[in-house]
């Protein structure tokens, strides 16, 4: 039974040979590894001919990284990073039960953490990574009767400090920002892509 990517195309991941116990995965990068170099002298027609003749067997990876379905998301992500793979085959008692990809981690963990798809404004509050400072910021948010949609602490590469990123359910955070800056915090509205 083929397992296709989220958008229904077979370009990202396909499970091959479902009748075998040794499952294999074809990955996009394998196509790139087995394709001619961009510096090739082959014409587009010759390349198309070669790709039309290439089989999944020639580009699939046989040594796949597997994980049990009851493993934590954190353990799965750590394993994928350690093994430098973009997908893990989920196996239960020797049977394929699914696949988890880096996109799954992004959609299910990172996006909610960043507040993507949630209403409001994201504020970047510099040097605000201690419990005392976070508690003070939350008190200010409560005083303005706002709801926290997402919150995380970010280790700033530039300043070496821990910054608070908080998304609140308002489109006009001016009064909250004024209160926080009056208290001594440096606050910026963090641009959102979504």
Higher-pLDDT residue of 33, 57: 57
> How far apart are the C-alpha atoms of 12 and 73, rounded to whole Å?
21
Residue that has been written with the tokens 């083929």 in this structure: 2
Tokens of 24: 């294999």
For position 182, what pLDDT does the model report? 96
Q: What is the mean pLDDT of residues 30-59?
A: 72
> How far apart are the C-alpha atoms of 116 and 147, rounded to whole Å?
15
| Mean pLDDT computed over every residue of the chain | 81
pLDDT digit string (tens) for 142-180?
999 999 999 999 997 777 889 999 999 999 999 999 999
pLDDT digit string (tens) for 89-124?
999 999 999 999 999 999 998 888 888 888 899 999
CA proximity to 126, closest of 192, 190, 186: 186
CA dihedral 150, 106, 7, 75 (to 10 degrees): -130
Lowest mean pLDDT among 1-15, 61-75, 110-124, 155-169: 1-15
Q: Which domains are present in the chain?
A: 13-109 (3.10.580.10), 115-190 (3.30.2130.10)
The answer to whether residue 22 scores a pLDDT higher than 60 is no
What is the percentage of the chain residues whose pLDDT exceeds 90? 52
> How far apart are the C-alpha atoms of 98 and 54, rounded to whole Å?
26
The answer to whether residue 125 scores a pLDDT higher than 50 is yes
CA proximity to 153, closest of 173, 171, 131, 170: 131
Beta-bridge partner residues of 163: 154
Strands (E), 23-181: 24-27, 66-67, 87-92, 95-101, 121-125, 148-155, 162-168
- Report the Cα–Cα distance between both ends of the chain, in Å, rounded: 35
For position 14, what pLDDT does the model report? 42
């Amino acid at each position: 039974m083929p397992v296709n990517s989220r958008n229904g195309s077979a370009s990202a991941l396909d499970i091959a040979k479902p009748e075998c116990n040794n499952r294999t995965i074809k990955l996009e990068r394998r196509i790139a590894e087995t394709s001619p170099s961009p510096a090739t002298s082959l014409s587009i027609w010759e390349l198309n001919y070669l790709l039309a003749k290439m089989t999944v067997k020639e580009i699939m990876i046989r040594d796949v990284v597997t994980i049990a379905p009851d493993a934590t998301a954190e353990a799965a992500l750590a394993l994928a990073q350690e093994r430098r793979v973009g997908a893990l085959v989920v196996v239960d008692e020797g049977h394929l039960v699914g696949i988890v990809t880096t996109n799954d981690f992004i959609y299910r963990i990172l996006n909610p953490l960043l507040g993507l798809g949630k209403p409001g404004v994201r504020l970047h509050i510099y040097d605000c990574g201690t419990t005392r400072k976070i508690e003070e910021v939350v008190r200010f948010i409560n005083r303005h009767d706002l709801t926290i949609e997402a919150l995380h602490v970010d280790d700033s590469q530039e300043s070496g400090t821990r910054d608070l990123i908080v998304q609140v359910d308002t489109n006009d955070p001016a009064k909250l920002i004024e209160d926080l800056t009056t208290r001594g915090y440096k606050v910026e509205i963090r641009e959102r892509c979504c």
